[in-house]
Structure 1
Amino acid sequence: MKRLESDSKERHGQRTGLGETEPDRAGGRTAGATCEREPRMPLRFFHGSIRKKLVILVLLATLPPFVVLAFNELAGRRHLVEMAGSDTATLLRGFTEVQRRVTDSTRTLLQTVAAMPEVQAADADEVHTILSTLISANPVYTNAFLLDLDGKVVAGSIPGRPDFDFSDRKHFIEAMETGYFASGEFVVGRAMLRPIFPFAMPVHGPDDLLRGVIIIGVDLSHYGVLFDKSAFPTGSFFGICDHKGRRLFRHPASEATPLGAPIAQEVFLAASRNDGPGIMHSMGSDGPRRIVAYESIRLWSGSEPYMYMFMGFQEAELLRQANIQAVLGGVTIAVSLALALLLAWYAGGRPLARSLEKLTKAACNVGESGRMTPSNLDYSDGEMGQLGKAFDTMGHLLEEREAERNVALVRLSESEEQYRILLESNPAGICLVDPETMAIEFANPAFLRLLGLGPEDVGAIRVSDIHPPEDLEAISESFMRHSRQGVSFSAAIPCLTRGGERILVDISSARVRIYGRVLLAGFFTDITERKRYEDALVVAKEAAEQANRAKDEFLANISHEVRTPLNGVMGMLQLIRVSATSGEQLANVDIAIQSSRNLLRVLNDVLDFSKIEAGKLDLYNEPFDLAGLMRQCVSLFKQQADEKGLVLDSRIDPSARECYLGDEGRIRQVLFNLLGNAIKFTMYGSITLEAYALAHPEPGCERLFFSVTDTGVGIPDSKVDYIFDSFTQVDSSLSRKYKGVGLGLPIVKRLIRLLGGTLVVDSEMGAGTTILFNVQVRIPAKGACVKPKGVPAPESSIPLRVLLVEDERVNMLMARRLLENLGHTVTCAENGEKCLQVLRGERFDVILMDIQMPVMNGMEVTHLIRNSEDFRHVADIPIVALTAHATRRDREAALKAGMNEYISKPFEKEHLEATLQRFAGR
C-alpha cells in the first residue's frame, strides 16, 4: 500500500511539474522544456487536459467489467438455448419411445387376437367378450372392432353390433390391400366421438384367406398426463400429427390449435423432410416463437412415417428472466457509466488523481480476479465521491449478476443431474456409439448389466464385441446404413453377454447430435424370455391345429367308413322287410332298421359336435316355412308318441310370420333333439311344441321363440347345468334306465348360441319340464318365400333304366336288388372309367353316382359327362350323387360339379324312389 502511495506521489509530482512549466513555454526553451516533446503515437490518445484523461481513464476502468458482463450474458443465453434444445430432444425421445412401445404392443396384441379361432370364425359373442376384455385391461385403447370384408362391424368391444362403416378408412384399406399391420390417420372415433389414432390388422382364416380386419383405436390423451407429470416450463407444449400434417393431439389444448387442423407448415415440412429427429426455431400456430424438437415414427424401418411428434418451449419464456436481468444490468451500467463520465469531466487536480488510482485498482481487481473490491472513496467528497459510489454500486450489481448466474448454473447442474439419474435408473439399456469406429462411448448401468460388462469396458469395446460372429456382417451393415441415412430403426437382434450367453435383444437405434458430434443412440431391451414364450405359443398352436386337422380327417374317414357298411345293412333290411312272411319277422326287421337309424343319429351327433367345437359348422340363411317345419317335427315323432300313449301337438302364435330367413336345418336339429328327449323321459301325459315371435332391436330381424313342454320325470335343479355338458346324463350309473351318449343337449346349447339365441330350462321333479329357446331370424323380402311348384310326383312308379356306379360290392348288390324290386332296369359299373365305357354304347334315364371310387371318382366322371365332346349325346342325363359323404359342403360340391340331386348313405328306399321318379319322363 505504501509502495502504491509513493508511486502515486511521484506521478502526481511529475504532473505538477509539467503544470508549473506551462507558462514558460512562450518565452523559449527551458530546462523543463524537455518534458514538452511530442508524445509517441500510442500515447497521443491520452494527450490533453485532465478532464479528457479522467474521462478516458474512467472509460478504460469500467470497460473490462462491462465487456466481461456482456460476454457472460451472451454466452449464458447461447448456452441456455443450446441446452434447452438438447433437453427438449432428449425428453421427446422418451415420448417417441413410449409410442413405439405402444405400436409394437398393439401389433403383437392384434396378431394374437387375429389368430384366435373365435375371431377367424367371426363368432360375434366370443369376439365381443375378447375385445371388451382387451379394452378393459388396456386403458390406452378406446374401442376395438372386428370388421367384415366390406368394412361393416361384425362385433366390437361395445355391446351390440353398431352400424358403422369403416370401408373408407385408411387403416382398413391398407390392411385389406397389403395383408399386414397398418396405421391410420386423424379420425374422430365413431363410438366415443373424440380424436383417436387407429391401427388395423387383417384376419386370415385357417385357409389363409382374408376373413376380415380388426381395428383398434389408441387414446392419445395419456400423453397429456405424462406431460403434466413432467413439470415443463410455462408455455411448453407437446403435439402429434399424422402423415398428412393434421393435428392428432396437442397439450395443452387451445382454440388456436384445434385437433384435425394442419399444424404449422414450416414445422411439418422440416419434420417430413428430415429422416431423423431434429430441432428448429419456429413461430407456433398459436403465436409465440418456440424451440421445437421433432421426430418421425414409423411402423418399421424403411416405411413412410405414420406419425410425427413435437415438443416445444417458448423462447420468450426461456429467456424472459435473462432478458430482464440483462436490461436492468445494461441500464444500471449505462447510468453508472454516464454518471462516472460526468463526474470525471468536472473533477480535476490531485485529489482526483488519488481517487482515480483507487478506482483503477478496484477495476483491475475485477478484471483479474472477477471479484469486486470497494473503491474506499469518500462518498461525500463531491463529484469524485459520487463516482466512487457509482463504481461501487456497479460492482455490487456485477456481484449480484454473478450470483444470479451462479444460481442459474446450479439449476442447470441440477437439471443435468436429473437427466443423469433418469439414464442410470432407466430399465432399458442405453448406449452411444461412434458411427465411424463403432466403439461404445457411453453405456448406462442397465446396458452393462444386460451384457455382463463393467464400467471399465465402456470405450474399450465395439459393437462387434457384443454380437455373434455369424450375425456380425448383417448387423454392422444395418447399423452403418441407418447411420448414413440418419433413419431410426428397431429390430430383434442376437447378442452375446460377457459370459458367452446368447440372448435376443430388441434394439432401437437413432442418429443423434451431441455438441456437434453425430453419434448412434441405441436402446436395448432383453426379449429372450418373451421370444421363447412366443415360439412356444407358435409350436403349441401348430400342434393344436395339426391335432384338429387329424381329428377332422379321422372323423370324416370314420363317417364314410361307417356309413358305407351301414348303407348295406339298412338296404338289405329294407329288402328283407319287403319279403317278410310273418308279423314277427316284420317286427324284427323294423327293430333292426330303427336301431340302424339310431346308430346313424349318434354318428351325426358326433360329427356335428366335432364341427361345433372346431368352429367349422356352417350356418345358412335360407327361406323356410315355419308351419311346415312344425308339421315335419310333429309327424316325425308322432308314431313314437302314439306307441307310448302320449299326446303330441303343436301351436303357432299369431304373432309369428309364415316365413323367415334362417338355417332351417339347424333349427330342425334342435327341435328333433328336444322332442326326442321329451318322448324318452315322458311315461304318460302330453308333449306340446309352441312357437311365437318378438321384435328385435336390429332392423329387419325378429326373435323366434320355441318351447317344448312335457309331463315327464323332470330334472333335478342340481343337474340342469350338468346335462348340457358333453357326454353327460342326469343318471350316469351302470343301471341307468335311459340310454344315450350325452351329446344331444350339448349340441342343442351350442347350436342355439351359434344361431344368436339363448336357452332356458324350467323343470319340476315328477311334474315335467319346459325348455324355452330363441333364435335370431331375418324377415324375408316380399316374394322371397314363394314355394316352387315343382314337378308333381306320379301316382304310380315309372320303370327307369338306371346306371348304378358303385365300387363297394355289398352296396352295389343291395342297391341293385332294391332298384329291381322297384321295377327298374339296372346296369352296374364299379368305377368312373367303367361308367364312361358303358355310356359310350348305351343310354339311360338316370345315373346313380358314388363319389369316392378308385381309378376315377364321381366328381371327375360328372365333369367329363357335362363338358366332354365325346359325351355330348348324354350331357343332359340326370345324375344323382349316392355317397357316404354327408355334409352340406359335400352336397354343394356335388351340385356344383354338375350333379342334379344328392342322396347320402345310408338311404331310405322311399326317398330313393321319390328322387328317381322326379326324373321320370325327362
Structure 2
Amino acid sequence: MPLNDDARRPPKDTRDEPVREFAQGFVEAHRHRIFLGLSIAGTLLLGPFAINNFFQDRVALGVFTSTFVACLLANAYAIARHRAPVVPAAVIFVASLLGLATAMYNNGLIGILWAYPGILLFHFMLPRRTANMFNVTVVLMSIPLAWMHLGPQLTARVAVTLLLLVVFSNIFSYIADTQHAKEAEQRERLDALVRQLEEQNEALRQAFSVREEVERIARHDLKTPLASIATVPRLLRERGSVAPEDDELLGTVERAAMRVLSMVNLSLDLFRMEDGTYRLRAQAVDLGALVQTVTRELQAHAHSKRLRTELHLPPEPLHAQGEELLCYSTIANLMKNALEASPEGGEVRVTLQHVSDADGECVELAVHNAGEVPAAVRERFFEKYATHGKAGGTGLGAYSARLMARVQRGSLRMASGPEGTTLSLRLPAWHAAVPARTAGRAPAPSAALRIEPLPALSVLVVDDDEYNIVVLKSLLPSPPLSVRTAVNGRAALELSREARADVIFLDLEMPVMGGIEAARRIRALQLQRGEEPSRIAAFSAYDDEGTRRQCLQAGFDLYLAKPATREEVFAVLRGQDPAHAQGAGERADQGGGACGWSRASCT
C-alpha cells in the first residue's frame, strides 16, 4: 500500500512547536510564547474574579471561570514543558462560552466586556480558521444578551466593535504571517548558502589534502631515482682512476641531480613558508657567486634580446644569512623578470653592496632594468597570482620571491617609474667566520674512516628500489660487514627471524609491508625473543617532520635521508647522528643542505 506524503516524511523535532493545534499561521516560532503570555494575563485577570464569584454566591459563574483558568494553566504548563496540551481547545471554548454567557446574563455590561479579551485569546491560541469560528460564535452570543441589558443602540456599537476586533486581529495576523514567511524564506536561503559554503570549504580542504599527498608521493618517486644518480659520481671518484675529463662530466651529473633534488624539495618548502611552519637553516651565502652563476645560466636568453648585463660586485665576497637554494631561486627569479621586462637592446644592471638600515647591517642586491611596471599592477605586484601581459604567467614569481626573502628575515621591494624598475633584495649580513667550501672538488677518502675502522657487523638493507640497494651496498665494505638485502618489510621480518641484524637500513614506502610496520614488528620480535635490539635507521626520500616523528614512534633510532654519503652511512653504523657526519656538511655546501637536507636523530 503506497504511503502518503506525511508518512514518507521523517519525524520532526516538535520541541519548538509544542502544540500544532495552537500553532498555525501567526509567527509560528513564537506562538507558544504568545499563548503563555496571554494565559498568565488571563489568570491574573480572571483568577480574582473567579474567586470573588464564590463569595458573591455566583457559584455557576465561579465554576465556569475557575474551570477556564485551570484549563489555561494546564495547557500553558504542558506547552512550557514541550508537551502536547492537556485540555483540548474545544473544552476551553465551551467553558469560556458558558462563563461569558453567564456573566453577560447576570452582570450585563461587565460580562460583555469580558468578550473582548476572550476574542483575542482565541485568536492567538488557535489556528486562524478555528479561532474565527469560535469568535463569530462569541459575537453572535453577545448580541442578544447585550440587547437584553443595553438596548438596541449600545448593542449595535458592541456588535460593531466586536466584529472590528475580529477583523483587525486577522489583518494583523496576515501581515505578521506574510512578514514571517519572507523572513523564513530568507533564513532558508541563507542556511542553504551557508551549507553550500561549508560543503565547498570541506571539498577544498579535502582537495588540498589530496593534492598535498599526491605531490608528496610524486616528490618521493622523483627523489628515489635522483638520489641514486647523485650518489654514483661520488662512488666512482672514490674508486680512483677517473680522468679529468670524466671527473668534469661526473661533476656535471652530480650537480644537475642535486639541483633537481633541491627544486623538488623547494616545492614542498613553499607550502611550509605559507603555513608558517618552515624552519630556516641559516648559513653563509655568497650572493656574488650566485649572481655570477645565474648570469651564466641566463646568458643565452640575454643574447637573444641583445641585452647587456652589468654586474657591480665588490672585490671581496659578501655573505648573507640565508639558505643557498632560497637565495638562488630568488636571484634567478629577479634576473629572469628583469630580462623579460627590459626593452630590446637594453641593459640589466645588478649591484651588490653592504648597507645599514634600522634593522642593522644588511647585504643589498639591486636588479635594475629600463622597463616600467604598469601602474595598474604596481600596488599588487607581490600579490599571489598577480600577472600582467605575460603569456603563460602564473603570477607566483614575485610572490614566492618575497615569501622566500621574508622567511630569511629579509625584505624585497620594488620601485618603478619612467627611468625603469628596480627590485631590491635585503638580507641580514653574515658576521661569523665563513666556513671553507669544498664544492666542485673531488673529495678524498676520509681520514676518519681509516683511523676508525668499522667493527664486524651484520647489516640488513631493505629497499624496494634495486638501484638504491646497489648504491647502498657499494658504500658498505664487506668485510668487515656482512650485508643482506630485502625488497620489502615482510622479507626483512623473515630475515630477522632467521638471524638478528646489528644494523638495519629500512626504507619507508614499500609494497606488501612498509618500513614503519616492519620496524614495529621487528622490535616486537626481538623483545619476545629477548634479543638485543637492532639499530634501525630510516632510509627514505621523505624529509618532513611528520615522517620523522612517525619513525620515532615506530621504534627507529636514526633517520637517514636519500641520497646518503659514505660518511653518513658510516655514522649510522657507529650509532651516531648522520647530520653531524663530514659528508653531510660537504654536500650542504654543494646545495643539498640548502634544500632541506637536514638530518635529525630520532633518539
1:849 aligns with 2:506: yes
Asked if structure 2 preserves the Cα contact closer than 8 Å seen for 1:850 and 1:881, the reply is yes
1:770 corresponds, among 417, 424, 449, to 424
In structure 2, the CA distance between the partners of 1:839 and 1:282, relative to structure 1 (3 Å rule), is same
Q: Which residue of 2 aligns with 1:885?
A: 542
Residue 422 (structure 1) aligns with = 172
Counterpart of 2:277, as a letter, is L
Select the structure that is richer in helix. 2
CA separation of 1:421 and 1:672: change in aligned 2, threshold 3 A: farther
Alignment partner for residue 902 of structure 1, among 559, 570, 576?
Answer: 559
Cα gap change, 1:900/1:810 in structure 2, threshold over 3 Å: closer, same or farther? same
| Larger relative contact order (Cα-Cα within 8 Å, sequence gap ≥ 6) | 2
Q: CA deviation at 1:592?
A: 2.4
In the aligned structure 1, how far is the partner of 2:493 from the partner of 2:26? 75
Return the match for 1:593 from 243, 247, 254.
Answer: 254
- Map Cα deviations across residues 141-169 of structure 1 (whole Å, 9 max, x no partner): xxxxxxxxxxxxxxxxxxxxxxxxxxxxx
Query: 1:729, 1:581 → 2: CA distance?
Result: 49
TM-score (norm 2): 0.51
Alignment of 1:36-47 (within 5 A): none
Using the alignment, how far apart are the partners of 2:248 and 2:508 within structure 1? 34
User: What is the letter of the counterpart of residue 882 of structure 1?
Assistant: F
Q: What SS is found at the alignment partner of 2:531? A: helix
Deviation string for 1:351-406 (max 9, x for gaps)? xxxxxxxxxxxxxxx9979569xxxxxxxxxxxxxxxxxxxxxxxxxx8xx5xx97
For residues 589 and 408 of structure 1, do their structure 2 counterparts lie closer, same or farther at Cα, with a shift above 3 Å needed? farther
Equivalent runs, 1:122-521 vs 2, <5 Å: 278-280=39-41, 402=154, 413-426=163-176, 428=178
Asked if 1:634 is matched to 2:285, the reply is yes
Q: Secondary structure at the residue paired with 1:557?
A: helix
2:524 corresponds to: 867
**Aligned-pair CA distance for 1:805:** 1.6
- Please give the alpha-carbon distance, in whole angstroms, between the structure 1 residues aligned to 2:79 and 2:505: 62
Aligned residue in 1 for 2:352: 686
The CA deviation at 1:813 is 0.6
Q: Distance in 1 between matches of 2:548 and 2:164?
A: 79
Aligned to 1:151: none
State the alpha-carbon separation in 2 of the partners of residues 851 and 910 from structure 1.
22
Pairwise CA distance, 1:582: 3.5
Give the aligned residue type for 1:649.
Answer: L
Letter in 1 for 2:174: E
SS at match of 2:467: helix
**Alpha-carbon distance in 2 for matches of 1:585, 1:859:** 40
Residue 227 of structure 2 corresponds to 567
Q: Deviations over 1:723-754 (max 9, x none)?
A: 6545x8899579xxxxx99756544666899x
Q: Counterpart in 2 of 1:264? A: none
AA paired with 2:220?
A: H
- Would you say the 8 A contact 1:706–1:772 is kept in 2? no
Given residue 559 of structure 1, which amino acid in structure 2 is its aligned partner?
R
* Residue 710 of structure 1: how far off its partner (Å): 0.5
**Structure 1: which amino acid aligns with 2:368?**
V
Match of 1:511 in 2: none
Report the CA distance shift for 1:673/1:532 in structure 2 as closer, same or farther (over 3 A): same
Structure 2 residue aligned with 1:712: 367
* 2:462–2:504 contact (8 Å) kept in structure 1: yes
CA distance in 1, matches of 2:470, 2:246: 22
Q: Distance in 1 between matches of 2:480 and 2:389?
A: 49
1:770 partner letter? S
Q: TM-score, normalised by structure 1?
A: 0.35
* Distance of 1:606 and 1:559 partners within structure 2: 9
Question: How far, CA to CA, are the matches of 2:480 and 2:333 in structure 1?
Answer: 39
CA distance in structure 1 between the partners assigned to 2:147 and 2:158 by the alignment: 22
Task: Go from structure 1 to structure 2 and tell me whether the alpha carbon gap of 1:582 and 1:731 turns closer, same or farther (over 3 Å shift).
Answer: farther
| Residues in 2 aligned to 1:900 and 1:675: alpha-carbon distance in whole angstroms | 39
RMSD: 6.0
Could you tell me which amino acid in structure 1 is paired with residue 531 of structure 2?
H
Deviation of the 1:859 alpha carbon: 0.9
1:845 and 1:920 in contact (8 A); partners too? no
C-alpha displacement at 1:531, in angstroms? 8.3
Provide closer, same or farther for how the CA distance between residues 596 and 429 of structure 1 changes in structure 2, counting only shifts above 3 A: same
SS of equivalent residue, structure 2 residue 285: helix
| Whole-Å separation in 2 of the counterparts to 1:589 and 1:421 | 93
Q: SS state of the match for residue 448, structure 2?
A: coil
Output the amino acid matched with 2:265.
N
Of the candidates 244, 267, 282, which is equivalent to residue 606 of structure 1?
267
Give the superposition deviation at 1:562.
0.9
Give the distance between the partners of 1:724 and 1:674, measured in 2 at CA: 16
Match of 2:461? Answer: 804
Deviation at 1:850, TM superposition (A): 0.5
Amino acid at match of 1:420: N
8 Å Cα contact 1:673-1:745 kept in structure 2: no
Q: Distance in 1 between matches of 2:189 and 2:262?
A: 49
Aligned residues: 412
Residue identity in the other structure for 2:225: P
Q: Deviations over 1:785-819 (max 9, x none)?
A: xxxxxxxxx97134444432212101111122234
Deviation at 1:536, TM superposition (A): 6.2
Assess if the C-alpha contact under 8 Å between 1:608 and 1:747 holds in 2. no
Conserved 8 A contact 1:805-1:835: yes
Q: Which amino acid aligns with 1:762?
A: M
Distance 1:711 1:819 in 2: 48
In 1, the alpha carbon distance for the partners of 2:80 and 2:228 equals: 62
What is residue 649 of structure 1 aligned with on the other side? 318
2:277 pairs with 1:619 = yes
State the partner residue of 2:491. 834
CA contact (8 A) 1:640 1:679 kept: no
Separation in 2, partners of 1:580, 1:808: 29
Decide whether the 8 Å contact of 1:805 with 1:829 is kept in 2: yes
8 Å Cα contact 1:678-1:687 kept in structure 2: no
CA deviation vs aligned residue, 1:19-61 (integer Å, no higher than 9, x gap)? xxxxxxxxxxxxxxxxxxxxxxxxxxxxxxxxxxxxxxxxxxx
Give the Cα separation in 1 of the matches to 2:519 and 2:204.
Answer: 37
Q: How does 1:99-114 map to 2 (within 5 A)?
A: none
Amino acid at match of 1:713: H
2: CA distance, partners of 1:533 / 1:829:
55
1:80-122 CA-to-partner distances (Å, cap 9, x unmatched) read xxxxxxxxx99x9749649x9xxxxxxxxxxxxxxxxxxxxxx
Q: Relative to 1, partners in 2 of residues 1:429 and 1:795: Cα closer, same or farther, differing over 3 Å?
A: same
CA distance in 2, matches of 1:589, 1:741: 35
In 2, Cα distance between the equivalents of 1:811 and 1:842? 23
Q: Is the 8 A contact 2:232 2:471 kept in 1?
A: yes
CA contact (8 A) 1:609 1:743 kept: no
Distance 1:709 1:813, change over 3 A: same
Specify whether residues 407 and 888 from structure 1 end up closer, same or farther in structure 2 by C-alpha distance, changes over 3 A only: farther
Q: Which residue of structure 1 aligns with residue 413 of structure 2?
A: 761
SS of the equivalent of 2:368 reads coil
- 8 Å CA contact 1:848, 1:881 repeated in 2: yes
Structure 2 unaligned regions, length at least 5: 1-21, 46-68, 84-108, 111-145, 296-310, 339-347, 429-445, 579-602
Q: Going by fraction, where is strand more abundant, 1 or 2?
A: 1
Q: Quick check: which has more Rg, 1 or 2?
A: 1
